Structure 1
Amino acid sequence: MSDRQPSQGLKTALELGPVAAFFAGYMLLRGETFEVAGTEYSGFILITAAFVPLIALSTYLLWRLTGALSKMQIVTLVLVIVFGGLTVWFNDERFFKMKPTLIYLIFGGILGIGLLRGQSYLRLVMDEMVPLDEEGWMKLTRRFTLLFFGLALLNEFIWRTMSTAAWVNFKTFGLTAAIFVFFITQGRLFRDHGTGEKDG
């Protein structure tokens, strides 16, 4: 494994590329049906079948380039493989739509367990990126826990009550926007509890 770090552009492309490809593929094939080995599959199912090896490849390349993967990346990959596989095997798109719900419930649950133990598990993942004091980490962890549970509920509401097209747009843009807005709204916490210890 190489110690050389990839450029930020390449890293971002590998992280976001599969999601962008899924969205583009769905927009291209939505409403279409295809017969494979005597079974009819919707465009959504076929795109899901392509998405699973694509995200596996991008995760592998990230690991080869950086020498490490975060626990979040590993859990996400495992759930994509499991739920993507179930979606294709049973020819039922509901499995893949449930995936974000389970991902956010797992992350929220892990952070919640840490909070009950008086610890910030979020700090173990993000300490090098966000220099905060102990109180700041506990506050941020509580807010992230609520965010994850909220996103899990929102995903369930959208896929159960809205169209597949609406869910794909939500998954591609809505979830990313929600996390971006969340970080923007934490400016005061970062200012009040930032330690500045990692400036060098």
Structure 2
Amino acid sequence: MSDAQTDTSKSTIGQGSKLLVDVGPAAIFMITYNVAKRLVEDQAIYWATGIFMLATAAAVVYAIVTQKRFPPMLAVTFVIVTLFGGMTIYLQDPIFIFIKPTIINLIFCFAILFSFALGFNVWKRLFGSIYSMPDHAWVMLGIRWALFFAFLAVLNEVMWRHIIDANVPETARWFAGLELTEAFWVNFRFFGTFPLFFLFVLANVPMTLKYAKATEDESKGEGDTKDA
């Protein structure tokens, strides 16, 4: 096997591992909920939350073992899942797990914006090793992701506040005519959120490739000038 094939295989395995860490706990949460709903209907969200906490902890261990590091975004997710999941089970109140996505997405949003205020781009710091782009392109990409995380936070707020079968107080509702079920919210976490992420990533590919190619061409031009 050539070095190029070996590098490609390692890259594929690495991407597969990252996908498993990102998607695995959410898939387990959804599956556990839907199975538990048939067995212990009123306790399904608590069973799913407990298994979700264990799955997230397992994802952390798996990431550390396979990637030899503790990814910052996974670290934030682990802390919030443990905290809000624990309160959900201890207080027997599902609202804590309902607002968990809001908290995580707002943390990511404000982390990006706050990094700009401190004079650096956390998005470039996290993903600069993947793409080489000029600073203004990283700023644009960072702002886009901050807005996307804010959108996900607002979307989750709209959804959980209108769940009609989970003891959500009437005062929490924003729109009188909107009614959702707990099962819809749980399943949307997987079948809705991840497709939105995928579509948003695809929407940013043209800009990323445009600036990455421009940076590559500029580097080649500088190299040719030095050779001359």
For the aligned pair, the TM-score class normalised by the smaller chain equals: 0.7 to 0.9
Query: Which secondary structure does the structure 1 equivalent of 2:195 belong to?
Result: helix
Of 28, 48, 62 in structure 1, the residue corresponding to residue 35 of structure 2 is: 28
Aligned partner of 1:180 among 167, 174, 198:
198
Counterpart Cα distance in 1 of 2:106 and 2:205? 25
With over 3 angstroms needed to count, the CA separation of the structure-2 counterparts of 1:154 and 1:90, relative to structure 1, is same
Match of 2:105 in 1: 104
Distance 1:106 1:53 in 2: 22
| Greater alpha carbon shift after TM alignment, 91-100 vs 108-117 | 108-117
Q: Which stretch has the larger CA shift, 176-185 or 137-146?
A: 176-185
Separation (CA, whole Å) in 2 of partners of 1:84 and 1:167: 16
Instruction: Give 2:85's aligned residue.
Output: 84
Q: Distance in 1 between matches of 2:119 and 2:192?
A: 32
1:1-200 alignment to 2 at 5 Å? 7-8=13-14, 9-30=16-37, 32-33=39-40, 42-161=43-162, 162-194=180-212, 195-196=215-216
Say if 1:97 and 1:159, in contact at 8 Å, map to a contact too.
Answer: yes
Moved more, 124-133 or 114-123: 114-123
Q: Which amino acid aligns with 1:72?
A: M
- 1:101 deviates by 0.3
Deviant stretches of 4+, over 6 Å: none
Root-mean-square deviation (Å): 2.1
- Give the 3 Å change call, closer, same or farther, for CA 173–196 of structure 1 in structure 2: farther
Q: For the pair shown, which has the larger CA radius of gyration, 1 or 2?
A: 2
Instruction: Give the conservation status (yes or no) of the 8 Å contact 2:28–2:51.
Output: no
Q: CA deviation at 1:10?
A: 4.2
Distance 1:62 1:149, change over 3 A: same
Quote the Cα distance in structure 2 between the aligned partners of 1:140 and 1:97. Answer: 28
TM-score by length of 1: 0.85
Equivalenced residues, count = 188
Instruction: Give, in whole Å, the separation in 2 of the partners of 1:152 and 1:85.
Output: 21
d(CA) in 1 for partners of 2:59, 2:204: 30
Structure with bigger RCO (C-alpha 8 Å, 6+ apart): 1
Q: 1:31 to 1:93 in 2, by over 3 A?
A: farther
Q: Note the alpha carbon deviations across 1:73-118, whole angstroms, 9 max, x for none.
A: 1010000100110010011111011111000101101111122344
Q: How many Å separate the matches in 2 of 1:193 and 1:10?
A: 28
Q: Deviations over 1:51-94 (max 9, x none)?
A: 21221022112202221021101010000100110010011111
Alpha-carbon deviation of 1:23?
Answer: 1.1
Q: Secondary structure at the match of 2:75?
A: helix
Structure 1, unpaired ranges of 5+: 35-40
